[in-house]
Every structure is written in C-alpha cells, then in structure tokens.
C-alpha cells in the first residue's frame, strides 16, 4: 500500500485590521463581539474593501515559496450554511488563486532533500468562533457565536498530493511555520489557531495508480480509494500522529472488507484517534461564483518588486551560507537557523567577535541548554549578543581561559537581570593566577604532592601530565591558564 | 438540466432543512420549472461578446491596514433575537466543524 498525502495549511496573517473591514484583527482574549462592524457581521448592504497589507503578506509567502504571482486578484464567494459565517458565504479565491506552483524543500532524517510541490496559495477570511452547548433545563442544543475572529485575514497553502509519509508531512508543516515566522507574516502558533493543518490522506495499492499532472489516476480497471480530510489538529506533532492513525484505520478497514468513503474526520488529541464529522462536500456544493462586490485588482511588476524588498534571507539560504562561509556543522546550522531570532542573535554576536565557530558553540551549547531548561526564548536571556562577543574575544586574546568564560556565562545566564560582562571579565582577570611566581609555586607544590605521577612521567608515561595539570588547576581554584600550567610542568619535569 | 428528487434532497441537506415526502413531491417539479425558466438565458447567443471584467482597480489603490473603531457589544447584538453573556445565541443542533 502507498500513502498519498496532500496538506492544506491555513495561516492567520499578522495585520492590524481585518481582511475586508477596518475592525482590529487582534481578537485574542478580547470580550466577545467587541471587534465587529456591519461588514464582518454580514449585515445587508455592507461592502467588503480588501486590505492591501494582507495581500502583500500573501504575495510575500508566495515569493518565499517560489510561486508564480497572479497579475490579477479575483475573489469568489464560497457558500455554506453555518452560524460561524454570517454572510452565508466566505470570501475566498476559487479558480484564480493569488500564488501558484511553488516549491518548498524539506530535509529528511537520512540527510536527503525532498521537494514538496505547492499547488496554490490563496487569500480568504477567517470565520467566527462558535461554542456548542446544551440548555441545562430543556436539554436543547444551542450555539454561542463570537464574531471577533470573523474576517481576520487568512491564507490557505495547498500542496499537490506529493507527500509520502506522516513524517514528511510533519517536516513540511514545520518548514512552513519556520518560513512564515522568518517573514513575520504570521505568528503561526497552532495552539492559538493561527496555523491550522488539514491533511488529505488516501491509501492506494502499489503499482495500481500513477501520478498524471499531479493528480492520482488509476491504472487499468483499478478503483481508487477515496480520501479523508482530517481537521482539528492542534500541534505539529499531532499532524504526524493523526496521519499515522488515519492510515492505519483505512488499512484495517480495507483488510476487514469494509468500503472506504470520502469523509471529513476530526482529530481527538485526548484519545489519539480521528472521529467521523461529515461526508465531504464537493466543490460544486459550495456554489462558487465571482464576488461581485470587489473589483478585479491589477498587480503590476512594480507592485511585486516593492513587495520583494520585504523578503528576508530564508532558512535554506542561511544554512548554506553558514556552511560555506563559516564551515559550521549541520547540527549547529540547524539549531542556529531554527528561528530568525536565533539566527540574528548569532549573526550579531559573530559580527562583533569575528569568530563564528566559538560563537556557534556558546549558543548551541550553554545558552541553548539554558533556554531549554527554563522554557524561554533567545531574546529573553540576560546575555546579549554584544556580551557574547566580548566574552569570545576575551578568550581568543587569552585574557581569560575558556573554563573561566564558561563559568562567567553560566553565572550571568542564571542572573535574570542585565549583566555587565566587561566588569565580570575584569574581576576574573584580577583573580586569575597570571603571576608566574605564584603559578610556579603551585606547580612545585603539585609535583611534590604527587611523587608517583612524577616517577611515571619520567619513566615515559607522559600522558600523566593531564593529571598533574588538573592538580595545579585545583590548587589555583580554576584561575590558572591550563596551557601555561602544562608548559611550566613540562619545564620543571624536564629539569 | 434535469432536476430530480435526489437533487432536491441534496440541496435540502446543504440548506440544513428537512422536507416531508409531500413537500418533495410538490417541490421537485417546481424546481424543474424554475431551472428551465432561468435556463433560457443560456440560449442567448453570446459568441460575439468579449469576456471582460466590468471594473478593475490597481493594487496601490487598496485600503491601507489601519484600524478604525468597531461597534460596541451592545450595538453588535442589537438585532440578535437571542443573546447570552455578550454572545449571539443560535438555537438548534449545528453539525460539522468550523469551516475556513
């Protein structure tokens, strides 16, 4: 059996106002129905007026994923009856999406790269928030509706059915979230509903189907199995789990001789299962037609050029540069490019210190374990890129030892308040045993206290020098430079 | 276009309304006659008419992303027959999940 997956991802755009009216789109944790107007309440006679910035952000996503951008923007009405949609239709785009035929590369665990084909990215509007309840006395069903979310700009990114596994789907969703956050077009927080993933899944017998123009076609008299669409997925990891569950459910049903039907199912995160919601409506049931209230919008080359200036260096390009210019390892590159904030932190610290490798090591090592332990973001730490650069330079000029730098860094990180790294380094230097006389005394003390090691060294077991360096470091309370200690020890032992 | 009982039942399902057998008998020929009547427009010869959009605007003319005051909760709910705690209340079971 082959698994064939297409993914629809909705992203809420980070705009100030809604898609077709001037109400605020910042609806999170606001009192219900306080961000509405006749347009987003769908009152008769209200005219939608498209938000330029929202369309710019949609185009930006299209450019970042190598899409072709349409020369004209046309909106369509998608009809269905549900209380979350006061107009009785959603303004969306049907046959002429804004962005077409893009690509996104994902890195698979075996190190190879897979290209996910994007069919389209279109602009639409979000719907209201609904709560389904039961009346306490009569038991009658009712729904409470909050229209604050109604009309918030939304884009839908649709892939071709080219994804082959649950894991690939998860990696692709992660990549889309990463790109959206790099571009700053969406916060893409799935728990807050700013990003929603809806996989379309089908299983087909190996060798009985083929891809023709990116559509699944049967070979011979094979009858294709219908697909299911899964909704209500609340996290990136649930994308993988829901697909795995659904593939198993369909496989089991087929083996038990049951007939599969095209349907929409909901992911139940608590139970870890998908549940039947409804049999899927077909496109013609939505009775799409052109939105007559919005004129066709011309998009010129100059408009695209203006929007292009807002493109930033994306994770793939960054990763390549870090590898070619800095010779960083794959793991470090992955960590450093995971978010734009981390990459910018790294680049700023590198610009000031000129040492990419050490900077990368500090960040991926001590700083990252601090972030993970405390569940905080890079911009929350008390050590700023400027501080890290000073620290790196101090080690490189041998003003302080690596161990001392580590100690300072750990100390500063555990201190929430802002730190004065220069004064910390000065303090360390003043307490450092750089006085050759004092250090030589410690070396002599260590040698006299470890006679066996000295005998071993002289009989040819020179590896024992490490033990002796350790002994001196202990006497100096970690304040000596281990290289200098080693030099002095070798000199003394050679006498 | 042929409009039969099955199609009527499908449209009723999409419209979230329940029809009795009597209504289905009654409405099917009515719908057929409405469709036939509207279908006459398709018989007009439009081969010489160029497809075009009545009006276009330039991207730069679109609305800037600036927030303006919204209605108050009281104003927003003024015409709702049922409300509860600032929400608009809708009676009856609604099925399926949110669309987007």
Is A341 domain-assigned? yes
Chain B residues whose beta carbon lies within 8 Å of the beta carbon of residue A36 = 70-71, 76
Q: How far is B85 from chain A (nearest CA, A)?
A: 8
pLDDT confidence of A191, banded at 50, 70, 90? very high
**Domains in chain B: boundaries:** 5-41
Size of interface A-B (CB pairs under 8 A): 159
Is A488 domain-assigned? yes
Q: How far is A425 from chain B (nearest CA, A)?
A: 48
Percentage of chain B lying above the pLDDT 90 cut: 58
What is the pLDDT, as a whole number, of residue A280?
62
Instruction: Identify which of B14, A260, A82 has the alpha carbon closest to the alpha carbon of residue B6.
Output: B14
Q: How far is A79 from chain B (nearest CA, A)?
A: 10
The strand pair at A129-134 and A113-125 is best described as unpaired
Q: What is the mean pLDDT of residues A54-74?
A: 98
Structural contact between residues A485 and A472, judged by C-beta atoms closer than 8 angstroms: yes
Instruction: Identify which of A190, A183, A163 has the alpha carbon closest to the alpha carbon of residue A108.
Output: A163
How many angstroms separate the CA atoms of B11 and B22, rounded?
16
Structural domain for A145, as ranges: 8-198+282-302
Domain identity same for A31 and A140 = yes
- Whether the per-residue pLDDT at B18 is higher than 50: the answer is yes
Q: What is the mean pLDDT of residues A389-418?
A: 85
Q: What is the mean pLDDT of residues A473-480?
A: 78
Is A228 domain-assigned? no
C-beta atoms of A33 and B87 within 8 A: yes
Instruction: Identify which of A319, A324, A323, A374 has the alpha carbon closest to the alpha carbon of residue A342.
Output: A319
Structural contact between residues A130 and B98, judged by C-beta atoms closer than 8 angstroms: yes
Q: Kindly report which listed range (A38-42, A195-199, A432-436) carries the lowest average pLDDT score.
A: A432-436
pLDDT in tens, A250-266: 999 999 999 999 999 99
According to DSSP, residue A24 is labeled B
Domain identity same for A417 and A451 = no
Domain identity same for A72 and A120 = yes
CATH number at residue A461: 1.10.10.410
- What is the CATH class of B5-41? mainly alpha
The two tokens of residue A301 are: 């080359």
B contact residues 61-100, partner A, Cβ 8 Å cutoff: 62-68, 70-73, 76-77, 82, 84-100
Q: What is the mean pLDDT of residues A478-487?
A: 81
Domain identity same for A48 and A163 = yes
C-beta atoms of B76 and A10 within 8 A: no
Longest dimension (CA), chain A: 100
ipTM of the complex: 0.81
> What is the residue whose two structure tokens read 């939505």?
A286
How many angstroms separate the CA atoms of A430 and A422, rounded?
12
Chain A residues whose beta carbon lies within 8 Å of the beta carbon of residue B96 = 82, 264, 277-278
What is the pLDDT, as a whole number, of residue A401?
83
Instruction: Identify which of A88, A22, A24, A92 has the alpha carbon closest to the alpha carbon of residue A52.
Output: A22
Helices (H), A397-464: 402-414, 421-431, 436-449, 451-458
How many angstroms separate the CA atoms of A202 and A224, rounded?
9
What is the pLDDT, as a whole number, of residue A438?
78
When CB atoms are compared, the residue of B82, B89, B100 closest to A10 is B100
Final residue of a domain: which of A431, A452, A480? A431
According to DSSP, residue A284 is labeled G
- Whether the per-residue pLDDT at A281 is higher than 70: the answer is no
Domain identity same for A38 and A143 = yes
What is the pLDDT, as a whole number, of residue A75?
97
Substitution target from A84, A142, A307 for chain B, most B beta carbons within 10 A: A142
Chain A residues whose beta carbon lies within 8 Å of the beta carbon of residue B71 = 36-38, 41
- Whether the per-residue pLDDT at A343 is higher than 90: the answer is yes
- Whether the per-residue pLDDT at A419 is higher than 80: the answer is no
Q: What is the mean pLDDT of residues B48-58?
A: 80
How many angstroms separate the CA atoms of A17 and A24, rounded?
4
How many angstroms separate the CA atoms of A449 and A119, rounded?
75
At residue A154, the 3 state secondary structure works out as strand
Chain B residues whose beta carbon lies within 8 Å of the beta carbon of residue A196 = 100
Domain identity same for A462 and A328 = no
Q: Dihedral sign for Cα B72, B74, B79, B81, please.
A: positive
Range with top average pLDDT, A42-46, A168-172, A421-425, A460-464? A168-172
What is the pLDDT, as a whole number, of residue B98?
38
What is the pLDDT, as a whole number, of residue A222?
93
Question: How many structural domains comprise chain A?
Answer: 3
- Whether the per-residue pLDDT at B96 is higher than 70: the answer is no
Mean pLDDT, chain B, integer: 87
Q: What is the mean pLDDT of residues A482-494?
A: 85
What residue of B is the nearest CA neighbor of A304?
A: B59
- Chain A within 8 Å of B18 (Cβ-Cβ)? no
Domain identity same for A190 and A71 = yes
pLDDT in tens, A421-437: 887 787 777 666 556 77
A433 to A429, A445, B23: CA distances (angstroms): 8, 15, 99
Chain B residues whose beta carbon lies within 8 Å of the beta carbon of residue A24 = 67, 70
Instruction: Identify which of A42, A43, A18 has the alpha carbon closest to the alpha carbon of residue A30.
Output: A18
Q: What is the mean pLDDT of residues A28-52?
A: 95
Domain identity same for A18 and A129 = yes
* Ramachandran class of A398: left when φ > 0, alpha when ψ lies in -120 to 50, beta otherwise: left
Domain identity same for A468 and A328 = no
How many angstroms separate the CA atoms of A477 and A431, rounded?
10
Instruction: Identify which of A481, A489, A485, A467 has the alpha carbon closest to the alpha carbon of residue A403.
Output: A481
When CB atoms are compared, the residue of A85, A126, A277 closest to B97 is A277
Query: What would the DSSP string read from start to end of A419-430?
Result: --HHHHHHHHHH
> What is the residue whose two structure tokens read 């009281």?
B74
How many angstroms separate the CA atoms of A361 and A64, rounded?
30
Domain identity same for A298 and A323 = no
pLDDT confidence of A495, banded at 50, 70, 90? confident
Domain identity same for A23 and A162 = yes
List Cβ<8 Å contacts ≥24 apart for A415-418: A415/A382, A416/A382, A417/A382, A418/A382, A418/A384
Domain identity same for A342 and A457 = no
């Amino acid at each position: 059996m082959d698994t064939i997956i297409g993914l629809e991802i909705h992203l809420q755009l980070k705009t100030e106002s809604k898609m077709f009216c001037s109400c605020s789109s910042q609806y999170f944790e606001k009192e219900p129905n306080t961000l509405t107007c006749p347009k987003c309440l769908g009152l008769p006679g209200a005219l939608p007026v498209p938000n330029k910035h929202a369309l710019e952000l949609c185009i930006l996503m299209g450019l970042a994923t190598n899409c072709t951008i349409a020369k004209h923007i046309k909106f369509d009405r998608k009809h269905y009856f549900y209380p979350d949609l006061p107009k009785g239709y959603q303004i969306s785009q049907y046959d002429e999406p804004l962005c077409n035929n893009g690509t996104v590369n994902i890195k698979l665990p075996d190190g190879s790269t897979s290209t996910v084909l994007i069919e389209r990215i279109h602009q639409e509007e979000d719907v209201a928030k609904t709560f389904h309840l039961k009346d306490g006395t009569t038991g009658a069903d009712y729904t409470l509706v909050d229209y604050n979310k109604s009309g918030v700009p939304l884009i839908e990114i649709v892939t071709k059915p080219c994804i082959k596994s649950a894991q690939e789907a998860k990696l692709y969703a992660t990549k889309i979230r990463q790109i959206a956050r790099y571009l700053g077009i969406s916060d893409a927080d799935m728990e807050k509903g700013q990003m929603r993933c809806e996989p379309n899944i089908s299983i087909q017998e190996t060798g009985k189907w083929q891809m023709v123009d990116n559509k699944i076609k049967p070979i011979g008299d094979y009858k294709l199995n219908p697909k299911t669409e899964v909704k209500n997925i609340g996290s990136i990891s649930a994308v993988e789990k829901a697909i795995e569950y659904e593939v198993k459910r369909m496989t089991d049903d087929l083996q038990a001789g049951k007939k599969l039907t095209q349907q929409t199912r909901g992911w139940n995160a608590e139970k870890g299962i998908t549940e039947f919601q409804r049999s899927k409506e077909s496109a013609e049931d939505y009775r799409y037609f052109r939105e007559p209230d919005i004129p066709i919008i011309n998009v010129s080359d100059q408009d695209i050029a203006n929007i292009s200036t807002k493109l930033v260096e994306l994770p793939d390009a960054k990763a390549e540069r870090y590898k070619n210019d800095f010779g960083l390892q794959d793991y470090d590159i992955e960590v450093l490019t995971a978010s734009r904030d981390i990459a910018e932190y790294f680049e700023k610290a590198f610009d000031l210190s000129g040492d990419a490798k050490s900077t990368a090591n500090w960040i991926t090592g001590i700083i990252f374990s601090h972030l993970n332990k405390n569940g905080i973001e890079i911009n929350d730490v008390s050590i700023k890129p400027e501080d890290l650069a000073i620290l790196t330079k101090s080690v490189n000029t041998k003003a302080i030892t690596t161990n001392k730098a580590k100690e300072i860094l750990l100390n500063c990180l555990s201190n929430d308040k802002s730190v004065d790294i220069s004064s910390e380094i000065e303090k360390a230097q003043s307490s450092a045993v750089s006085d050759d006389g004092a250090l030589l005394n410690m070396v002599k003390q260590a040698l006299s206290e470890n006679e066996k090691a000295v005998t071993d060294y002289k009989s040819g077991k020179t590896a024992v020098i490490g033990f002796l360096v350790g002994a001196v470091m202990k006497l100096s309370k970690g304040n000596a430079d281990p290289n200098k200690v080693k030099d002095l020890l070798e000199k003394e032992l050679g006498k | 276009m042929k409009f039969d009982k099955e199609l009527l039942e499908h449209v009723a399902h999409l419209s979230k309304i329940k029809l009795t057998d009597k209504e289905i008998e009654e409405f099917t020929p009515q719908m057929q006659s409405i469709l036939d009547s509207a279908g006459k427009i398709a018989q007009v010869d439009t081969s010489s008419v160029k497809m075009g959009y009545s009006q276009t605007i330039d991207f730069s003319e679109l609305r800037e992303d600036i927030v303006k005051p919204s209605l108050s909760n009281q104003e927003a709910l003024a015409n709702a027959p049922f409300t509860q705690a600032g929400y608009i209340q809708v009676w009856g079971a609604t099925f399926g999940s949110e669309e987007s």
